[in-house]
Amino acid sequence: MKIFSILKLSFIITVLFFSCSTEHQTEPTKVISMNEIKVEAPIAKKIAKELTIHGDTRIDDYYWMKLSDEQKNAEKPDDQTKDVVNFLNAENDYTNAKLKHTKPFQEKLYNEIVGRIKQDDQSVPYKDNGYFYLNRFEEGKEYPIYSRKKGTLEAKEEIMLNVNELAKGFSYFAASGLSVSPDNKLLSYGEDTLSRRIYTIKFKNLETGEMLSDVIPNTTGRAVWASDNKTLFYSVKDESLRAYKIFKHKLGTAATEDVEVYHEKDETFGTFVYKTKSDKYIVIGSYQTLSSEYRILDASTPDGNFEIFQPRERKLEYDISHYEDKFYVRTNMDAKNFRLMETPINATGKANWKEVIPNRDDVLLEGMDVFKDYLVLSERKAGITNIRIRPWSGQEHYIEFQDEAYLAYTSINPEFDTEVLRIGYTSMTTPNSTYDYNMKSKEMNLLKQQEVVGDFDSKNYISERHFATARDGQKVPISLVYRKGTKLDGSSPLLLYAYGSYGSSMDPYFSSVRLSLLDRGFVYAIAHIRGGEEMGRWWYEDGKLLKKKNTFNDFIDCGKFLVDKKYAAKDKLFAMGGSAGGLLMGAIVNMEPDMWRGVVAAVPFVDVISTMLDETIPLTTGEFDEWGNPKDKEYYDYIKSYSPYDNVKAQNYPNMLVTTGYHDSQVQYWEPAKWVAKLRDQKTDKNSLLLHTNMEAGHGGASGRFARFKETALQYAFFLDLVGINEGEMMN
């Protein structure tokens, strides 16, 4: 693969002054767009690879871009690795050249975005086991400082972990899974320096500040303490990055001596370990898209044997919370939207489950939190989250909120014996707010609202909620926000965002980042399409497997609705999605390429068949119930009918910016890279097609508090440039 040369660009803006008596006139500055810039696009070489199954052969000309971890991490790269890296770098150079004229604007956007973030900020402290815990940021620093105070908030701060110090010398660094021992003396945490979400667990003596010699590699990042303060349980990953084993570690011993306590042999399941809120039990969980299973062990007897709570069954999902002499079980057993059951601690099988709250067709039971005198339930109705307070004795009630569309959720609540519930609240015009809610008196105390530095005033923005009618008659919720004064006459640009997979609901939340679009006249909308769980479990099931195309149709129909209602100009409709939402982007540009002025597909899952046929790739085996197993011809044919990579054809495509990370463990870099190469070969238009690869990051992008917004500024500049806004014009 040759290294592609990129033409150097220079733009000279000449302002001419003409003198006529005492009057001066200035010629307007010409707005330069990326589509006017002539620069050579990288052309990837083709090596035809025949992929045959079910008597059907696909030809993949860019299969060669797929590298193994061993190849990527080798000290001396082989020729294939060099070719891949050269291609990715050439695409980066091309993107930089095409967007060079927006570089000052990108910098302005970046400074604007980070300028709204309070630099010396800290979280609201929460109390646990005699200490108040918080994390804070110092001005100009990228990473948090985790600390605590003993007894009262006036006590001396004890710094547990300064991630800024740990991150020195690394281009990427993430600290995760901080966990303090029951006696408050020791800290365990995981660190990842590659962005593959493979963590090494380390330990720190909080009394002396010294690091322990214990080091545990290849984990998911969090260790769970037994009651003896020296025994810990953790999960490890296999070659496909599936968490598949639980080990027991004794402090002071080598990780090689750790005892395997559970092996999840079913490759469609993952496993994890945690401690109940009561601190009574260590719990091992196994999960799959349609099934779950738990094992429990008294935390005071870490060398005992885990006992199965309820054996796994196909399509039986449940989760558990301990309370005194019983467990509460949230389950879908004969309950599509889940119901709540209870069972004795010594008789946990489903035959002993007794119903506490029944299934409701219009309410999805999403979660629970147990307190000494209260049971708190998280529910979703008509796409909106609700918090239900249920005393063990007395009248239950719901917490009331005022916005038409919002997100309310239970926050960190480690204390058991309390009447105070810590909750979070946000809407598309309300910054994230932390409250203490007294479950007895119903008093709400605002502890902190996210500070938006500058002249932000929520009264300057309007949020609305609508329902678009999809082509099959279903009503699809849309949440949107815009700045007062934005023209709603069919002339404004609009960015439509969605996800639509895994039952993950995209709630109407506030983002100070998107103000950079709103303040320049953009409308921002979230389409709550099928594949999420906004409208209940059935909403998810109606957007997966052999009904996956409902997800794509919903998004397209939401876009048409917004144009018809004049929230968006027909020629200024933009779309954005990431990961499985990137699959959505790939599908809609194949299906309706002329609808979109520009599309950003972030870390997009676009090579669906090839990935789902390769069980060595992370996440594949656990997702057959999400997408279907293409080894089954029925699913193969259906996936092939929408898989973005397999459906690229000779047609016009919109302006597109595709982003990825070279070390992405969830959607491997080669999917977007292959997709862009094939699009560039097939498309018949002259619109921009750009690929940006972060060569040092993974699925979540750059680490650090501010660095991630460099990519956001790139994406926003891409959108704004397409509508001729590249000088930073702001609405009054």
Q: Is a pLDDT exceeding 80 seen at residue 621?
A: no
Q: DSSP string spanning 306-331?
A: -EEEE---TT--EEEEEETTEEEEEE
Q: DSSP string spanning 379-429?
A: EEETTEEEEEEEESSS--EE----SSS-EEEE-----SS-SEEEEEEE-SS
pLDDT tens, position by position, 91-133: 999 999 999 999 999 999 999 999 999 888 899 999 999 999 9
Q: Is a pLDDT exceeding 60 seen at residue 220?
A: yes
**Above pLDDT 90, what percent of the chain?**
83
Share the mean pLDDT of the chain. Answer: 91
Binned at pLDDT 50, 70 and 90, residue 43 comes out as very high
Residue 71: its H or E element: helix 69-73
Write the CA distances from 165 to 162, 169, 192, 201, integer angstroms.
6, 9, 14, 17
Least confident of 228-232, 341-345, 696-700: 696-700
609-613 CB contacts, 8 Å cutoff, 24+ apart: 609/58, 609/636, 609/639, 609/640, 609/643, 609/646, 610/51, 610/60, 610/63, 610/645, 611/668, 611/671, 612/639, 613/53
The pLDDT assigned to 8 comes to 27
Binned at pLDDT 50, 70 and 90, residue 27 comes out as very low
The residue among 694 and 6 whose pLDDT is bigger is 694
The pLDDT assigned to 433 comes to 97
Binned at pLDDT 50, 70 and 90, residue 289 comes out as confident
Q: Is a pLDDT exceeding 50 seen at residue 199?
A: yes
The pLDDT assigned to 28 comes to 38
Residue 6's nearest CA partner among 38, 37, 30, 40 is 40
The pLDDT assigned to 18 comes to 25
Binned at pLDDT 50, 70 and 90, residue 619 comes out as low
CA pair distance 7, 730, nearest whole angstrom: 32
Residues near 193 by beta carbon (within 8 Å), at least 6 away in sequence: 170, 172, 173
Q: Is a pLDDT exceeding 70 seen at residue 455?
A: yes
Residues near 545 by beta carbon (within 8 Å), at least 6 away in sequence: 625, 626, 627, 628, 635
The tally of CA atoms less than 13 A away on the side-chain side of residue 290 is 14
| Strand ranges (E), 238-325 | 243-250, 259-263, 270-275, 281-288, 291-298, 307-310, 318-323
What is the mean predicted confidence (pLDDT) over 232-246?
92
Binned at pLDDT 50, 70 and 90, residue 732 comes out as low
What is the mean predicted confidence (pLDDT) over 668-673?
94
CA pair distance 246, 263, nearest whole angstrom: 7
The pLDDT assigned to 357 comes to 97
pLDDT tens, position by position, 361-379: 999 999 999 999 999 999 9
Q: Which residues are catalytic?
A: 579, 664, 699
The neighbouring-strand residues paired with 440 are: none
pLDDT tens, position by position, 491-518: 999 999 999 999 999 999 999 999 999 9
User: What is the four-CA torsion angle of 80, 81, 86, 88, rounded to 10 degrees?
Assistant: 110
Q: Is a pLDDT exceeding 60 seen at residue 12?
A: no
Instruction: Quote the tokens at residue 212.
Output: 């322990």
DSSP state of 530: B
pTM (two decimals): 0.87
- Residue 494 CA from chain centroid, whole number: 22
Binned at pLDDT 50, 70 and 90, residue 622 comes out as confident
Residue 612: its H or E element: helix 608-613
pLDDT tens, position by position, 127-140: 999 999 999 999 88
The tally of CA atoms less than 13 A away on the side-chain side of residue 262 is 31
CA pair distance 659, 642, nearest whole angstrom: 21
